Structure 1
Amino acid sequence: MLVNSDFSQRAIVASDDYQWVASPQSGVERVMLDRIGGEKARATSIVRYAPESCFPQHSHPGGEEILVLSGAFSEGDEHYPAGFYLRNPPGSVHQPSSQEGAIIFVKLRQMQPGEKDRVRIDTRDPSNWQEHGRRQICHLFASGTEKVTLQHLQPGEPIFTKSVSNAEWLVVFGQIETADQSFECGSWMRLPEGTYPDMVAGSHGATVYLKTGCLLVFPEEA
């Protein structure tokens, strides 16, 4: 299966255009943002857990990155409410579930094989945020190939202040606006190399998940 698989092109999924697709597990649905492969795929998705839904224990050979958007997401007896960022390295094993229901942003099979650390960051904790000019930034992950942050932008502030090699963003709160379109909370975009000064926070500001650097597509998946 190929969904937004050409990384040389801009890819957009606005929140108004979500198409929920049932997963193999009852009570769990997903919106496919990009995907290369079948059920075991390099994938970026929005995943919705109904209350009291779960997956059997399973492994992630290529790692898994999660941002909890609403509700509470659980791994075994560990519970993560909205605002938590999780990073499970390649080879990790877990049993995900949600007692109350949850919506999460998920990236699968997009980590370097050598990545080892298990990351858990509560982005609700003010101590995890730093002032950078007009914006506030919560640093989630950085390596030689990628940088992941959550950023609070003031009204009218651009997402990008310089050219990017490639990038993707998800609106977590507020709006992102361009010259001809407004992107509400939940909207996602992936961008090839270039400059994008016209992408700015809306009149009430915005919070965005932002990944820049190398968006990995491994040779066996291309």
Structure 2
Amino acid sequence: MPETLSIAALTAGSWRTMTFAPFRDGIEMCTIAEGSPQVALLRYEPGAAAPRHRHSGMETVLVLDGSQSDENGHYPTGSLVLNPEGSVHTVRSDEGCVVLIQWTKPVEFLEGD
């Protein structure tokens, strides 16, 4: 990972050269920054889903490629999604996607762990 990472570079596709590792079934993660906040890229295979989970802090998601959905809506490329502390949802991507995600605190998975 480069020392400086810009949103412009990510939206232009620099994420394609980054190293991803398995995270959950059908989802890979590239950790950008650990700690608080944690920043990562998540790459969903078509049809992949993250199980129902609760946010113990703010989560910010920028959809870089493809789209993802949850109980609150459908988010195509370019969408910025803010999930507040205490929110609960299940995320899925029918077509596959790559998102830049930031958690201020770890999430609590409620099912499928």
TM-score, length basis structure 2 = 0.75
SS at match of 2:37: strand
Structure 1 partner of 2:3: 11
Say whether 1:20 aligns with 2:20.
yes
- Match of 2:73, as an amino acid? E
Residue 64 of structure 2, aligned match among 58, 69, 76: 69
| Letter in structure 2 aligned against 1:96 | V
Cα deviation, residue 44, structure 1: 0.4
Distance 1:77 1:108, change over 3 A: closer
What is residue 109 of structure 2 aligned with on the other side?
A: none
CA change 1:17–1:71 in 2 (3 A) is closer
Cα deviation, residue 78, structure 1: 1.9
**1:18 partner amino acid:** M
- Contact residue 60 and residue 109 of structure 1 kept, 8 A: no
> CA shift at 1:18, angstroms?
1.2
Q: In structure 2, how many angstroms separate the alpha carbons of the residues matched to 1:30 and 1:80?
A: 19
Given that 1:76 and 1:97 are in contact with CA atoms closer than 8 Å, whether structure 2 keeps it comes out as no
* Mapped partners of 1:31, 1:57: distance in 2: 21
Separation in 2, partners of 1:42, 1:30? 15
In the aligned structure 2, how far is the partner of 1:82 from the partner of 1:59?
A: 24
Partner of 1:35: 34
Q: Say yes or no: does 1:59 pair with 2:51.
A: no
Q: How many percent identity over aligned positions?
A: 31
**Structure having the higher Rg:** 1
Aligned to 1:101: 96
CA distance in 2 between counterparts of 1:29 and 1:62 reads 22
**In the aligned structure 2, how far is the partner of 1:65 from the partner of 1:92?**
12
Runs ≥4 residues deviating over 4 A? none
**Matches of 1:76 and 1:49, distance apart in 2:** 17
Q: Give 1:62 shift.
A: 1.1
Task: Supply the distance in 2 between the matched residues of 1:69 and 1:19 (Cα, whole angstroms).
Answer: 16
Contact 1:68/1:103, CA 8 A, preserved across alignment? yes
Q: CA deviation at 1:50?
A: 0.3
Indicate if the aligned counterparts of 1:44 and 1:107 stay in contact, CA closer than 8 A.
yes
What is the CA–CA distance in structure 1 between the aligned matches of 2:19 and 2:29, rounded to whole Å? 8
Structure 1 gaps of 5+ residues are: 5-9, 111-222
Matches within 5 A, 1:165-176: none
Q: Which of the pair has the greater relative contact order for Cα pairs under 8 Å at 6+ separation?
A: 2
What's the CA shift for 1:12? 3.1
Out of 41, 48, 55, the residue aligned to residue 46 of structure 1 is 41
SS for the counterpart of 1:100 is coil
State the shift of 1:77 in Å.
6.3
* Structure 1 residue 42 displacement after superposition: 3.3
Alpha-carbon displacement from aligned partner over 1:48-76 (angstroms, at most 9, x marks no partner): 00000001100110110011111111113
- Structure 2, gaps ≥5 residues long: 106-113
